[in-house]
Structures are given as C-alpha cells and as structure tokens.
Amino acid sequence: MSLFGHQSNAPYDGSALIADPIHQYVSFTVPFSTADQHERTEKDLIDSPWVQRLRYIYQLQSARWVYPSAEHTRFVHSLGTMHVAGRFARHLYPFLKKAVREVPSANYVEEFLRVTALVHDIGHGPFCHFFDDNFLHALGASHEKLGQIIIRDHLGPIIRKIRRSPSGLFAKGEELNPDQIAHVILKEKGKDNSRIPRWLNMLQPVISGSYTADNLDYVLRDSYMCGVAVGPVDLSRLIHYTIITDKGFTIHKTGLPALQMFLNTRMYLYSNVYYHRTTRAIDIHLRDIFGETMKLLFPHDPRKKMDEYLTLTDWSLLEQVRGWKTSRHATERRLGEEWQRILGRDVKWKMAYSAVLKEKGQERGMDFPSYQHFEEQIKKELPARLQKVEFRVDMAP
C-alpha cells in the first residue's frame, strides 16, 4: 500500500467533507493545494462572518425549551439545505436541458442552487421568524430582505469569484450572479420574475415550493434533534421522481406517496413541535416584552446598521438581558425579571381553550383576522366582573 495525497492533482484535492447526523456527509469545495489567489470556494463562503453568525442563531426559537435536545442552529440547517439543493441540481439538470433552450453548464447550475441554499437564511435575527413578526415587520423589513442586502453587499465579492462546484469547473466565462441569488431567496407573493432567465424560474421551487431543499432538511433535522418519532421521509425517492417538463417543476405520479408521507410528517411537526402548547405559551410571553427589549438593545433599522446587525444573535441578546435583573434602571429591571422567568421556564401563560377555525367565507389570498381582533371581540362578550382578567389569544396558521 502506498500513501497517495501529496500530489496537486490528487482526486480529493479541492474538496472536503463535513460529518452530519442527517445526511452522513456534506461535501464542499476548498482551495486547491496549488491555490489560485483569485479563486474563492464554498469554504470561503462558509467561513465568512455572516455565515458563521448563523452558529449563534438557534433553528427553533422557543421549542428548544420544550425539547431539550433541540439545540441545533441555522448554521447546520444551512449546510444541510446546501447538500439537498446540490442533489436536486444534479438530478434535474438533464430534464432542464430538454425543457429549456439556453441553460448554463451543469456545474454552474449545481453551484448556483448550492450557494443559494447555503445563504437562504442569512438574514435571520434572534428568535428567527418571531423576530420578523415582532420587530422587522414594523419597519417594513423581513429576514429575506435583509438577506438580500447581505448577499449583494457583503457576500457578493466571494460569490462572484467561485468558479466550481463539488462536481467540477464552470464553463468558460460563467460567473455566479449575487443579484439572481438574492432574488431567488425572496419568498414574496407576486414578485417580478420577468428579469431572471427561464431556466432559473424552472428551478425556483427547489428553494421555495411545496417540498424544497429547505423544508426537506428542516423536517428531517428538527424531528431528529427533538427526538420526535415521525413517519419516514424518503428524500431519495422524492428527488428521483421529481422532473422538469415544459410546464415546470413536476413530480411523477410514482413519487406521490413519498410526497404525501413528507407532507404528513411536516404537518405532525407543526402540530407537536412548532405549535406545541408550551412553545406557543413561551412565544406569547416573549411577545409581551420583545418590543421593549429591542428598543433598548437595537433601536435601529438593521438595513442602516448592518455592521451592528452582524453581532445581533440569540447568544448576544440572551447574554445582555441576563444582566438586566440587577440593573439600576427600572425598565431594564422589569424586563430582566420577565426574561429570567422565560429562561427558567416559568411560563407566564397556560392554555385555557383551543379551537380550529375554518376560513368560512374567506376568499383565497385574503388576510385572516389578527389575534388582536379576536381579543377585542372576546372582551366585548365578557361579563363586567371579568373585564380586568388578563388573557391572550394566540393564532397559528
């Protein structure tokens, strides 16, 4: 036996593996041993401050206080999503070539989807979607819009210099376009797709659709990390029976049972993990204090203070509010006591009643009444002796 691996053209030169409990191994590109100083790889992107920041943002905002082992982060989810997107790309490329006249090289398409998947959550703040609902929305922003800024202005110089996927080099003259990547991560109804090429329109469902690289990874990862027993998710079968036709992203009828199993598993997770009664009770407690907390911690529009937003994570927020309990300032002290209750799982609210409301009379696309609307209606019906009783309405779509 001889030792092989010190030659510049060794078969494993330029790539590496990350061990992962869900996908076993995630491959990624690294500089060649005889590195081109101008080339950038997935390693450069993964090691960038913005992607590394995701190590300090938990995947599950409140459910980790209910499921103790769910300590995984947006960082590991992003790596897994990148891996699944690459699998989709390699499988779908032959169908894409038949359906669309002008398509970039297979390696370019693979890397475009991998990079897009890696950075799809790059704009998240502490407590993830809760942060959107209770802070960003009031500013007319979202984690996706912040992500677009990060991709264009901060990660763009790295992205443009990536020249290969784990499968090989791009065709001559091909260069990843950060603007197109930023466009694809925006899951906004009615967004204008007229300026992006047809091949990319065909592939958008890999990032935002019924079953995507994103939700396939998080369903597998969240159920595993929570220790929740769910039905099988046959990732390989779903990918195998997904094709692209002239009508777009399509699943063959033979793959429908696998899709149904996945959707049932996802629904089970929403019912028993994401919308668990204690998880939602913690969210309501957070909602009572989050606005005031953010006014003290980050009284800015993140779009104007991206350098400070870089350091705003679950870790930084929790570390600061821990010290407020002994603050000399009354507001900080009051908020600190509430944060201490949350961190100690002294849940303020208990579920008194739950119901499933049908969207009777609702037209497709119409907004469902807000929780504030239902609180007001309930108060009107309460007898005088109960008018001062505190209660909250929580709604899960």
Token pair in block for residue 88: 């989709």
pLDDT at 356: 72
Q: Give mean pLDDT, residues 279-306.
A: 93
Q: Quick check: 235 pLDDT over 60? A: yes
| 148-187 confidence digits (pLDDT tens) | 999 999 999 999 999 999 999 999 999 999 999 999 999 8
Per-residue pLDDT for 222 more than 60?
Answer: yes
Going by their DSSP bridges, the two strands 24-29 and 15-20 should be labelled as antiparallel
DSSP symbol at 353:
-
Residue-level length of the chain:
397
The structure's pTM equals 0.91
40 phi and psi angles, rounded to 5 deg:
-120, 155
130-149 pLDDT tens trace: 999 999 999 999 999 999 99
In which element (H, E) is residue 92 found?
A: helix 74-99
CA distance 229 to 216: 16
Fill in the amino acid letter for 116.
Answer: T
Q: How far apart are CA 183 and CA 148, in angstroms?
A: 7
Q: Is the pLDDT of residue 214 over 90?
A: yes
Given this model, what pLDDT does residue 9 score?
58
Using only C-alpha atoms, what is the Rg of the chain?
23
Residue 226 has pLDDT above 50, yes or no: yes
Give 118's pLDDT tier (boundaries 50, 70, 90): very high
- Give all domains of the chain, ordered by start, each with its CATH number: 15-274 (1.10.3210.10)
Half-sphere exposure at residue 70, Cβ-oriented, CA atoms within 13 angstroms:
23
- As a whole number, the mean pLDDT across the chain is 91
Are residues 394 and 284 in contact, defined by beta-carbon separation less than 8 angstroms?
yes
Residue 319: predicted pLDDT: 96
Residue 76 confidence (pLDDT): 98
pLDDT average, residue stretch 185-214 = 90
Closest CA to 249 of 214, 212, 203: 203
Asked if residue 216 has pLDDT above 50, the reply is yes
Structure-token pair, residue 192: 């204008």
Q: How many CB atoms lie within 10 A of CB 291?
A: 11
User: Does the pLDDT of residue 365 top 70, yes or no?
Assistant: no
- 367 confidence band (pLDDT: 50, 70, 90): low
